[in-house]
Structure 1
Amino acid sequence: MIKKEKKPMSEPLRAISLFSGAGGMDVGFENAGIKVVFANELVADAAETYRANHPDCIMVNDDINNVIDSLGKYEGIDLVFGGPPCQGFSVAGKMDPDDDRSKLIFTFLDVVERVKPRAFVMENVKALGELSKWKDVRERYLKKASDLGYSCHYFVLNATDYGVPQKRERVFFIGIRGDSFDEKRLHQLITHHKTKAAPIRDILLPLGKAGSEENPRTCVAKINFCARPVMRKSPYAGMYFNGQGRPIDIDGYANTLPASMGGNKTPFIDEDYLYGEADDNFIENYHKGLMDGTITPEYKEAPSRLRRITIREAAKIQTFPDDYIFCGKPAAIYKQIGNAVPCKMAEAVASAVAEYLQA
């Protein structure tokens, strides 16, 4: 049995960030007291956002395959973490195992092999951790990690349990070098960091109405009623408005914010209800009317009280800091936000792993 290494508490853990995007996962790891010394991101505007907010970290904007050979100088670092692109595994995508993006989870382990960190954390969509379709992929991933000398387990978590007002479920593969990984202990540490998220109303109210200086209007895509709505039991599911941007439950949590935001796939809210200028919830009333037949569906524009969420609101829902700087055009920024790992969710996982390594 390989003895678990212990690092003096006075020294911060050091980490490499892969598939860094705008840096949401990095915010969480840094808030957990971990120093990120190197980051890699392929998309230029996301890399620019990262640099604007993490000036002390080396950010290399390049294909990860062009970077691996240069990482030997970080051999033995404490952590490697990141969230490889998930579209190949997502139920919202084509679920194609031959999608080049599906192979990047193994590229992540190629870096682990080169760097030999004490531990690694890889985030991805829930489907990779739960669907039988991906069982062979999971088993190959765990076997490769084991062959590299890591005991690896995966945990499916819901962001709402970790202070994020969004029903976003994700899987985290966590590997610890050696064969003494206490899965139960790590799970207890992760659970210890559970924090019930505040409802959307409490998150968005302080920003003020869309169009204000603090909350610029950044998406003007129209909202129309569907002539042939696809109904579900919940007012916040189904498809009874145009596009794929669904309404957000002001008194609850948002569904997963998609990377396709920016146009009519951007989620929307009832602004009058949010700010107390209307006692009724238009979205729920309209859904009820469709369900009981008192409203006949017709393709026409929805009232102006319904409007798409802004960049600032999307960032708040993803728990980015209020002063976080985003670079690029609005569509690119929405994509950066939608692709990000929620900061507070990442912080909970990072804190648990740090505590495990420091025990």
Structure 2
Amino acid sequence: MRDKNYTAVSLFTGAGGMDIGFEKAGVKPVLANEMMKEAATTYSTNHPGAKMVNDDVNNIFPLLEDYAGVDFVFGGPPCQGFSVAGKMDPNDERSKLIFTFLDAVEKIQPKAFVMENVKALGVLDKWSDVRKKYLGRTREMGYLCVPFVLKATDFGVPQKRERVFFIGIKGIDDAMFEHNMQELINAQKVKAPSVREVLAPLGVAGTEINPKTSTAKITFATNPIMRKSPYSGMYFNGQGRPINVDEYSNTLPASMGGNKTPFVDEDYLYGDAKEDWVVGYHKGLVNGTIKPQFELAPNRLRRLTIKEAAKIQSFPDDYEFAGSKGKVYTQIGNAVPSKMAEAVAKAVVTYLEEMALRSA
């Protein structure tokens, strides 16, 4: 299958994580749109074959007429308005952009669209009216659309990131669509490697291949909030938590760069240490052999580098990012993991091709 290249318009493109995945599935973006200047530059550097428009999405609608009839529209509108990590404000202007995305779909009339967002939009009762309105609009436009909540760890990404993908297909009447699409997505599943396995080729931070990029200090919380796991609770200041390198990281946030950047034990990850330092510290706090500390954490604990964050998000090793370190961390945290996007794109392409065979 995939005997042809499909074309696409990419919206809310960011640094292009979703585009990497779609390209690997045989879908070629011909137009992309991103408002953040640095992310737009990153995209253009790595995707020279697509026209990038660095502007507010609302300003590009006249241009979309030139791309009517491309095969796909895909993108991930800003999710802060729906995120449990945010204020969950239904009046947040960013929450309206999922409908702006549909405005673009209506103008372009692709065979299929894929819109990514936070899991909360797909499952929480708080957003049930928004979901109904969104799905009702897609029906009016002639698309059969279903939301699918997926885990990044099911698709080769070592990160406990869950996201919803609204997948819409134009002009079909398939009572088994949700089941059929879920089966195609399931066929793309591959167990994710651990954080250690993914980062191993980089080696210690501070080298040319893995430069140190976050200097934010790691300090101890005055009043630790304990949990069973040394990787939860709050016994360090800031929102950057320790990563269990033998398993998966928590969702990497767009706010990385400072003290919200997750951290690792350098000696345990790349050196000879037999135990993660935070495991021993947590154990001592729990059994009372260690009192809470208030000075700086030991040097072996340090923040994720840009290279490490990009690998955890499944960006290719040679992907080039533009902008300051803080802007690059933001681009990485905002991205859709490319391997996750690739799995979804391959499932949708397969569905379209099987549908074409049945109607031939």
Q: TM-score, normalised to structure 1's length?
A: 0.96
1:100 maps to a residue whose letter is E
* Cα distance in structure 2, aligned partners of 1:14 and 1:337: 25
Q: Secondary structure at the match of 2:319?
A: coil
- From 297, 318, 327, the counterpart of 2:292: 297
Q: Secondary structure at the match of 1:289?
A: helix
Give the CA deviation at 1:9.
Answer: 4.5
* Cα distance in structure 1, aligned partners of 2:200 and 2:215: 20
RMSD, aligned α-carbons: 1.0
- From 348, 352, 355, the counterpart of 2:350: 355
User: 2:96 aligned with 1:103, yes or no?
Assistant: yes
Q: Stretches of 4+ moved more than 6 A in 1?
A: none
Aligned position for 1:49: 42
User: 2:261 aligned with 1:230, yes or no?
Assistant: no
Aligned position for 1:4: none
Matches within 5 A, 1:134-149: 134-149=127-142
Q: Is the 8 A contact 2:7 2:29 kept in 1?
A: yes
Structure 1 residues 55-105: Cα deviation after superposition (integer angstroms, max 9, x where no partner): 010000000000012101211211100000000000110100100101000
* Cα distance in structure 2, aligned partners of 1:9 and 1:236: 43
1:61 maps to a residue whose letter is N
Aligned position for 2:204: 209
User: 2:39 aligned with 1:30, yes or no?
Assistant: no
Matches within 5 A, 1:131-280: 131-181=124-174, 182-280=177-275
- From 67, 74, 80, the counterpart of 2:67: 74
Question: Percent identity at matched positions?
Answer: 64
Aligned position for 2:321: 326
Q: Is the 8 A contact 2:4 2:26 kept in 1?
A: no
Structure 1 residues 195-244: Cα deviation after superposition (integer angstroms, max 9, x where no partner): 10100111111101100010000001110111111222222122111110
1:57 maps to a residue whose letter is A
Residues 298/107 of structure 1: CA separation in 2 closer, same or farther (3 Å cut) = same
Structure 1 residues 277-332: Cα deviation after superposition (integer angstroms, max 9, x where no partner): 21122111112222222222132110000000100000000000000000000000
Q: Is the 8 A contact 2:221 2:237 kept in 1?
A: yes
Structure 1 residues 140-185: Cα deviation after superposition (integer angstroms, max 9, x where no partner): 1000111111110010000000000000000000001124242211
Q: Is the 8 A contact 2:152 2:161 kept in 1?
A: yes
Aligned position for 2:56: 63
* Cα distance in structure 2, aligned partners of 1:168 and 1:304: 28
Moved more, 180-189 or 334-343: 180-189
Q: Is the 8 A contact 2:264 2:301 kept in 1?
A: yes
* Cα distance in structure 1, aligned partners of 2:282 and 2:133: 45
Moved more, 229-238 or 111-120: 229-238
Give the CA deviation at 1:13.
Answer: 1.1
Q: Secondary structure at the match of 2:201?
A: helix
Moved more, 112-121 or 285-294: 285-294
Moved more, 173-182 or 139-148: 173-182
Moved more, 9-18 or 141-150: 9-18
Aligned position for 2:358: none
Aligned position for 1:126: 119
1:15 maps to a residue whose letter is A
Aligned position for 1:3: none
Q: Secondary structure at the match of 1:207?
A: coil
User: 2:12 aligned with 1:19, yes or no?
Assistant: yes
* Cα distance in structure 2, aligned partners of 1:135 and 1:198: 35
Show structure 1 runs of 5+ residues with no match: 1-7
Give the CA deviation at 1:342.
Answer: 0.3
Q: TM-score, normalised to structure 2's length?
A: 0.96
- From 102, 105, 110, the counterpart of 1:112: 105
Aligned position for 2:307: 312
2:180 maps to a residue whose letter is R
1:53 maps to a residue whose letter is N
* Cα distance in structure 1, aligned partners of 2:238 and 2:216: 10
Aligned position for 1:337: 332
